[in-house]
Amino acid sequence: MTSRRALLAATAAMLAAPRLLRAQGAWPERPVRIIVPFPPGQAADIFTRVYADELSRRWPQRVVVENRGGGAGAPALEAGARAAPDGYTLIAGTSGTLGVNPSVLPRIPYDAERDFAFITNVVVLPLLIVAHPSFPGRTVQQVVEVARAEDGKLDLATAGPASSQHMAAELFAHRTGVKLNMVHYRGSGPAMADLLAGNVKLMMDSVASSLPHIRAGSLVPIAVTTPTRAPQLPEVPTIAETVAPGYGAYGWTGLCAPAAVPQEIIRKVNADVTAILREPAVVARFLELGGTATPTTSEEFGSFVRAEIAQWREIARIANVRLEG
C-alpha cells in the first residue's frame, strides 16, 4: 500500500510539473515599468529606452519607461524602493541617485545599499575636461599649472552642485592638490552656452554633450575621466594616465529592483538585459550616443555601487558638498 501511494504521489507530481513550470515561467504576465529618476531626454532616459524597447520585443509584455524627475532623483528612487517586490517595477539607478546622493542629501528617503536588488550596470558615460580655444593650455598638466598659478580663481563650469560633473571636478582638484572655483549651472546646456561664448574657459562635461562641439572645432578636449580612454575620443588622454594615477570618475546608469524581488526574476532580467547589451547593434548605438555598454553580473554591480558610495562619501566630506532636501 505504501509503495502504491508513493507511485500515485510521484505520478501526480509529474502531471503537475508542467503546470508548475508554466506558472513559474509566466513572468511577466503584465507590463513591466522602469522608473527613470529624470525627465525625458536626459542620458539615463535615453539609454534606458534603448534596452527597454529591446526587452519589449523579447518578452510577452511591454516594458514601459516612467519618468519621475525632481528632487535630485530621490523621490523616484524612494518610489522604486517602496514598490511591490514582484518584478513589475524596476529602477534605473544612476551615479547620482545611488552613488552620490547618500553622501550629499541630509534626509535621503532610501538606503542605496539595502533597499535595492542590483541587477546589472548598463552604461558608463565618460566625462572630460573641455576648454574654450582661448584657454592658455592644451593638456591636463597645463590646466594644473594654471590652477596653481591662479590659486582658486580659475573658473570651472559644472552642470550643477553634486552632479557627476561637479563631483568629478572635486575629485580632480583633490587628487591634483589644486583649488578651482566651481561655477554651477542649472544643467549642462546653460554651462555649455557660457563655455562656447568664452564666459568661462573650462568645463567638466559629458563626452556625449561636448563631442559635437569638439568635432566642430569650437572646443578643445583636455582629458577624459574614465580609467581608460573614451572610444569616441581615442586620441584624448585620461586624467589617470597623466596627472592622477588611479583617478576614475564618470556618469553611469544601471538597473535595480526593490530589495525583496525573487532571485529567479533578478537572474532572468540580468540574463536578458546583459544579452541585449552585448549585441553589436546595441553596442554601436551606445557609442553613437556617447556611452559604453557595461553588462555585469548582479554581484559585480552591487560591489561597484558600494565602491562608488564610498568614493563619493569621502569627496563630499573633503569638499563639504551638501544639498538641501
pLDDT of residue 1: 45
pLDDT of 213 over the 80 cut: yes
The contacts of residue 79 (CB under 8 Å, 6+ apart) are 35, 68
What CATH topology corresponds to 126-224? D-Maltodextrin-Binding Protein; domain 2 (3.40.190)
Q: How far apart are CA 133 and CA 97, in angstroms?
A: 34
Convert the pLDDT of each residue in 214-253 to its tens digit.
999 999 999 999 999 999 999 999 999 999 999 999 999 9
Name the burial class of residue 278, with classes exposed (0-12), middle (13-18) and buried (19+) by CB atoms within 10 angstroms of its CB: exposed
Confidence of residue 316 (pLDDT cuts 50, 70, 90): very high
pLDDT of 325 over the 90 cut: no
DSSP H helical ranges for 69-187:
74-82, 101-104, 140-150, 164-176
pLDDT of 19 over the 50 cut: no
In terms of Cα–Cα distance, which of 74, 319, 123 is closest to 82? 74
CATH homologous superfamily for the domain 32-124+250-319: Bordetella uptake gene, domain 1 (3.40.190.150)
CA distances from 280 to 56, 211, 276 (A): 18, 22, 9
Confidence of residue 166 (pLDDT cuts 50, 70, 90): very high
Q: Where in the chain is the domain with CATH 3.40.190.10?
A: 126-224
Convert the pLDDT of each residue in 103-140 to its tens digit.
999 999 999 999 999 999 999 999 999 999 999 999 99
pLDDT of residue 11: 45
CA distances from 294 to 77, 124, 238, 283, 300 (A): 21, 7, 19, 9, 11
DSSP summary character for residue 68: -
Convert the pLDDT of each residue in 181-204 to its tens digit.
999 998 888 999 999 999 999 999
Question: If you average pLDDT over residues 277-298, what whole number do you get?
Answer: 96
Reduced to 3 states, what is the DSSP secondary structure of residue 299?
helix
Q: How far apart are CA 123 and CA 54, in angstroms?
A: 15
DSSP string, 83-105: S-SSSSEEEEEEIIIIIIHHHH-
- Percent of the chain, pLDDT > 90? 82
Q: Where in the chain is the domain with CATH 3.40.190.150?
A: 32-124+250-319
Q: How far apart are CA 24 and CA 15, in angstroms?
A: 15
The contacts of residue 142 (CB under 8 Å, 6+ apart) are 136
Question: If you average pLDDT over residues 57-84, what whole number do you get?
Answer: 96
Pick left, alpha or beta for residue 303 (phi over 0 → left; psi -120 to 50 → alpha; otherwise beta). alpha
Q: How far apart are CA 79 and CA 309, in angstroms?
A: 20
> For residue 253, how many C-alpha atoms fall within 13 Å in the half-sphere facing its CB?
27
Across 263-306, where does the E strand assignment appear?
292-293
Confidence of residue 22 (pLDDT cuts 50, 70, 90): very low
pLDDT of 16 over the 90 cut: no
Q: How far apart are CA 164 and CA 169, in angstroms?
A: 8
Computed from CA positions of residues 311, 317, 320, 324, in that sequence, does the dihedral angle turn out positive or negative? positive
CA distances from 18 to 8, 22, 23, 24, 59 (A): 17, 6, 9, 10, 20
Backbone torsions φ then ψ of 116, nearest 5 degrees: -130, 150
pLDDT of residue 120: 98
pLDDT of 25 over the 70 cut: no
Confidence of residue 39 (pLDDT cuts 50, 70, 90): confident
Place of cell 582661448: 134
